[in-house]
Chain A
Amino acid sequence: MTTTTVNETPKKSNLPVWLVVSGLLFLLGVFAWIIQLRQGVGATSLHNLNAWGAYIAGFIFFMGLSAGMLVLGSLPILFNLPRFRPYAKLAAFVALASLVVGGLFILVDLGHPDRLWRLVRFGNLGSPMLWDLLLTVAYLIVATVFLRRLMTVKSDDALKPIALLAFFAGLADGLTAFVFATQVGREFWFSAVQPIAFFVAALASAGALLLLLMVGLKAAGYNVLECCDLAPLAGLTAATVGLGLLLNVSELVTHWFSRSTNALEIVNAMLGSPLFWVEVIAGIAAILLLLLPATRLQSGWMAAGAVLALIYLAAKRLLFVNMGFAVQNINYAGVQIAPVGGYTPGLVELGVILGLIGLFAFLLILGFNNLRLAPTARS
């Protein structure tokens, strides 16, 4: 390892205010979840014709984040990419934290979390949801070992085997997409492009969050040295956001071209959804901020670009889940089995989601304070 030196005594700030704020948010989430447990999933805005919503979108988001972080953390070790190397530890840690939060998103979505043990005892290996569960467990082990090795092993060569595992675990994020892409009854999801699109979004989320953390940590007084040239990270984020937008265009064109009733309904539902426009506008704005010479690589603008990229991804995830329910395969008039109108997450859901985001922030801050994650100077 020639290009980085490990600075063992980074100056620490411990962000007490943020620790308290995120802790309180988490408590709010617990409170909202208790309401949901008592009233039933009916406390959310989900209904019979829109059986999944924001929780599942959160699950996809955080699983993707974790996968993207594993890839970004392992690539520089595998392929000797010194410009990405300083973030490896940070990435591995964020991967672990987002995994925990991603798993909890599934837990809060279940009507019967008390029966979770049945997954272990009676697991049906044919179910894509079980594939995902196994993947999560594998991620958890790989990410933990990877982080541990990164903290203790000094030579990148010795890190290569575990980095390779982490890399493949990250690539396997496509498996999350199979939960959706295998569903013949959901026209929008039933597409081979989804595993690729998921992977692209995973990289975008990891790139954007790393950028934000780098800028934010420095502002918070952490000893993030001038070491790190953020240009490659900004470039990667902009490129993957752009690729994601292109995939949207390709989805729209293929559906629109077929002119079948269902496909046109999908196109109309997509163009008619505010989420779609949030996605497009935030995505384009993020790319511009990250790439235009006037704003490029300036801390404030870069942070804004990263936040916009994360907004783009959150909108993308929720829109993706909603679009699965945009078309009713059998749409004749009869008794009402669901409220009219689409699905927008309700108060209880927002509370739970804020709580889980709070937990995520809490875990990250704990990590920053107690582990030496911050990138250090290159010699």
Chain B
Amino acid sequence: MANKHYGMVIDTKRCIGCHTCSVACKLENNLPDKNWWNRTLTVGGEDMDTPAGVFPNLKMGFITLACQHCENPACVKVCPVGATWKDEATGIVMQDPSKCLGCRYCMVACPYTGVREFNFEEPTYATGFAVGSIDAPIHEKSTVEKCTFCAHRVVKGELPFCVEVCPARARHFGDLNDPESEVSQLVLNRSHFRLLEEKGTEPSVYFLT
């Protein structure tokens, strides 16, 4: 079986900045209180959900930011112990907290601000009990973690949870190696950009415009 290259396509024309994907990610992956693997960012004013410009000429949009599962991942190259690596079969950049030294070199290397987060303290949870998937990733003090494209769901043939829950149907997920896949077709037919392309990391997340 040929290797897959999973990627995500996010339609900025459809995204309404509702944060559902961000919250769903927290839930599905049982994220500790302080962590956000997927953040909804306001492209506009200084604060969240504020526009840029002066009334009546206002502008506001959104991007959601999580690990870009780069084809040339800066993080993987620097990890001294291989605790983060690119899975050949899926193209997903994985992370194993039980191997991580907590040196934070990957956070330093990743150009995408804040997609990797370090558990500076013993993780705490708002609910006091585990939520989300039974096979959600573990969270360990003093290790780095990040989005895994919901690898635990993808192996079961399911979509990443953020894609599944998006009420605006702005998120698409699939195999970029397959020219017939929905994601490949969207990238082929719609104008798009990727974040920080100039850094040469070859991100696997496309934003439609």
Chain A residues with a Cβ under 8 A of chain B: 39-42, 46-49, 51-52, 106, 109-112, 115-116, 118-119, 122-124, 126-130, 133, 179, 182-186, 324, 328-335, 337-338
Rounded to whole Å, the gap between the CB of A318 and the closest CB of chain B is 15
Are B77 and A127 closer than 8 Å at their CB atoms? Answer: yes
A185 and B201 CA atoms in complex are apart in Å by: 9
- B166 within 8 Å of A (CB atoms): no
**Given A40-B120, A126-B77, A335-B48, A329 and B196 touching (CB < 8 A)?**
yes
**Given A333-B47, A334-B42, A129 and B78 touching (CB < 8 A)?**
yes
**Given A119-B80, A333-B45, A183 and B108 touching (CB < 8 A)?**
yes
Are B39 and A337 closer than 8 Å at their CB atoms? Answer: yes
Are B79 and A124 closer than 8 Å at their CB atoms? Answer: yes
Chain B residues contacting A130 (CB-CB under 8 Å) are 80
Are A109 and B103 closer than 8 Å at their CB atoms? Answer: yes
**Given A111-B102, A332-B42, A333-B47, A51 and B113 touching (CB < 8 A)?**
no
Are B101 and A115 closer than 8 Å at their CB atoms? Answer: yes
Chain B residues with a Cβ under 8 A of chain A: 22, 34-36, 39-50, 63, 65, 74, 77-82, 99-105, 107-114, 116-122, 141-143, 195-196, 199-201
Chain A residues contacting B103 (CB-CB under 8 Å) are 106, 109-111, 129
A112 and B103 CA atoms in complex are apart in Å by: 8
Chain A residues contacting B104 (CB-CB under 8 Å) are 46, 51-52, 109, 111
List 19 A–B pairs whose Cβ atoms lie within 8 Å, in order of A's numbering: A42-B120, A42-B121, A109-B103, A111-B100, A111-B143, A112-B100, A116-B101, A119-B81, A129-B80, A129-B105, A130-B80, A324-B108, A329-B196, A332-B63, A333-B47, A333-B50, A334-B41, A335-B39, A337-B39
Are A49 and B100 closer than 8 Å at their CB atoms? Answer: no
Rounded to whole Å, the gap between the CB of A370 and the closest CB of chain B is 35
Are B111 and A39 closer than 8 Å at their CB atoms? Answer: no
| Most chain A beta-carbon neighbours within 10 Å: one of B46, B104, B196 | B104
Nearest A residue to B45 by beta-carbon distance? Answer: A333
Are A127 and B120 closer than 8 Å at their CB atoms? Answer: no
Rounded to whole Å, the gap between the CB of B63 and the closest CB of chain A is 7
Nearest B residue to A185 by beta-carbon distance? Answer: B111
Chain A residues contacting B41 (CB-CB under 8 Å) are 330, 332-334
Are B78 and A185 closer than 8 Å at their CB atoms? Answer: no
Give 10 nearest A-B pairs by CB, closest first.
A111-B102, A111-B142, A185-B111, A42-B120, A332-B41, A51-B104, A42-B121, A334-B41, A51-B107, A330-B113
Are B118 and A111 closer than 8 Å at their CB atoms? Answer: yes
A51 and B106 CA atoms in complex are apart in Å by: 10
Are A329 and B121 closer than 8 Å at their CB atoms? Answer: no
Chain B residues contacting A133 (CB-CB under 8 Å) are 80
A293 and B120 CA atoms in complex are apart in Å by: 52
Are B110 and A185 closer than 8 Å at their CB atoms? Answer: yes
Rounded to whole Å, the gap between the CB of B107 and the closest CB of chain A is 4
